[in-house]
């Protein structure tokens, strides 16, 4: 899905002589929200924070190209505690979350090396790239930034990518991911994406969740464009294996699906929405690992996001609802972790330059 926000069509350029022309862009935004049933500290009922404070440097021509993204960011996600931008940067991917070299010997093939956006999932890493301010329940099962190498090839309607990476930022290069997209015509695209760890990895950190870093995951998307409407249906399956090395005595899995929609009301106004559902297997008594709000828990969410943009400036509002069932007490919403729903109201304003 394309974002409802349009980037600057005339970014600043810097001529670096023999190194060629570097394009400079960026995203700056503030967000504020109020929510019900917040969790214990550092989660709060409401907050004002930086959504993005980033600068992009990129060279887009020649055999040797590059992209560097610098600055601060946050990852608001439905159904999870909000971590403020300053803590997100130090806990996750640092002040250069994406940075890679790209070798492009011809128009059909390229090779990227460095800190890469993941191939997995329908939603992109950073908020300004997506239809909604918040990411969804399915996004929270996926990796975001990963280090390694990715090869890309296009031929007519087919686009292929294959990556060998460290998965959930583990610095253990045992993940393999692949993507196949078929563009039937300008209005219809089918994509299949799969990835996973090829061995068990016991390493964990604030950026590397133990269970998810050992998963296998598959996505299927279908995107359709009809006049002012853009629709995408999205199915996802993930599996965490039974393995003594990572402390699991039973396999855990998730099934989920989502529908994204965007209606372009006018040149400067869009109305986007997302409905999704995610279920997990097992129960609290059989030793199944927790991948949501306790083993065997389920949840659905609904999000609506009107967006207004004037030249480089934008304002987005959002309301989201998450409703869970089959939760394990202490692992859901509220200070006691026993509430089964959460509502958020958000607003974000900023500029893309």
Please list the pLDDT of the chain residue by residue as tens digits (353 residues): 577 999 988 889 999 887 789 999 999 999 999 999 998 778 999 999 999 999 999 999 999 999 999 999 999 999 999 999 999 999 999 999 999 999 999 999 999 999 999 999 999 999 999 999 999 999 999 999 999 999 999 999 999 999 999 999 999 999 999 999 999 999 999 999 999 999 999 999 999 999 999 999 999 999 999 999 999 999 999 999 999 999 999 999 999 999 999 999 999 999 999 999 999 999 888 999 999 999 999 999 999 999 999 999 999 999 999 999 999 999 999 999 999 999 999 999 999 99
Distance, CA of 321 to CA of 343 (rounded, Å): 5
pLDDT of 1:
56
What is the per-residue pLDDT for 299? 98
Nearest to 336 by CA among 2, 135, 39: 39
Tokens of 237: 């399956």
Long-range contacts of 291-295 (CB under 8 A, 24+ apart): 291/141, 291/211, 291/212, 291/238, 291/240, 291/252, 291/253, 291/254, 292/137, 292/254, 292/324, 293/324, 293/326, 293/327, 293/328, 293/331, 293/332, 294/326, 294/327, 294/328, 294/331, 294/332, 295/252, 295/328
The class that CATH gives domain 12-352 is: mainly beta
Query: How confident is the model at residue 41, as a pLDDT?
Result: 76
Looking up tokens 């389920």, which residue turns up? 298
Question: What is the reported pTM?
Answer: 0.95
Indicate the domain borders of the chain. Answer: 12-352
């Amino acid at each position: 899905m394309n974002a409802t926000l349009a980037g600057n069509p005339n970014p600043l350029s810097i001529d670096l002589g023999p190194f060629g022309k570097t394009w400079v862009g960026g995203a700056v935004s503030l967000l504020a929200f109020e929510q019900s049933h917040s969790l214990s500290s550092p989660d709060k009922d409401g907050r004002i924070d930086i959504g993005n404070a980033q600068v992009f440097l990129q060279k887009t021509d020649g055999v040797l190209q590059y992209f560097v993204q610098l600055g601060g960011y946050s990852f608001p996600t439905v159904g999870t505690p909000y971590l403020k931008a300053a803590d997100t940067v130090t806990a996750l991917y640092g002040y250069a979350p994406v940075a890679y070299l790209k070798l492009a010997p011809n128009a059909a093939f390229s090779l990227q090396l460095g800190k890469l956006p993941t191939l997995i999932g329908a939603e992109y890493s950073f908020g300004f790239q997506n239809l909604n301010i918040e990411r969804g329940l399915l996004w929270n099962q996926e990796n975001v930034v990963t280090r390694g190498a990715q090869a890309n090839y296009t031929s007519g309607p087919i686009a292929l990518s294959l990556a060998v990476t460290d998965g959930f930022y583990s610095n253990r290069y045992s993940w393999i991911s692949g993507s196949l997209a078929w563009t039937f015509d300008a209005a219809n695209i089918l994509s299949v994406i799969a990835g996973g760890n090829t061995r068990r990895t016991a390493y964990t950190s604030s950026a590397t969740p133990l269970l998810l870093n050992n998963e296998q995951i598959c996505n299927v998307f279908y995107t359709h464009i009809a006049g002012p409407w853009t629709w995408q249906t999205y199915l996802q399956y993930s599996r965490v294996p039974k393995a003594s090395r990572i402390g699991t005595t039973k396999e855990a899995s998730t099934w989920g699906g989502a529908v994204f929609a965007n209606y372009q009301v006018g040149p400067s106004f869009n109305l986007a929405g997302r409905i999704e559902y995610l279920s997990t297997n097992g129960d609290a008594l059989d030793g199944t690992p927790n991948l949501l709000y306790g083993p065997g828990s389920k949840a659905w969410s609904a999000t609506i996001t009107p967006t207004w943009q004037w030249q480089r400036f934008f304002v987005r509002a959002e309301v989201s609802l998450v409703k869970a069932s089959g939760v394990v007490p202490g692992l859901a919403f509220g200070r006691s972790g026993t509430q089964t729903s959460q509502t958020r109201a958000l607003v974000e304003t900023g500029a893309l330059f």
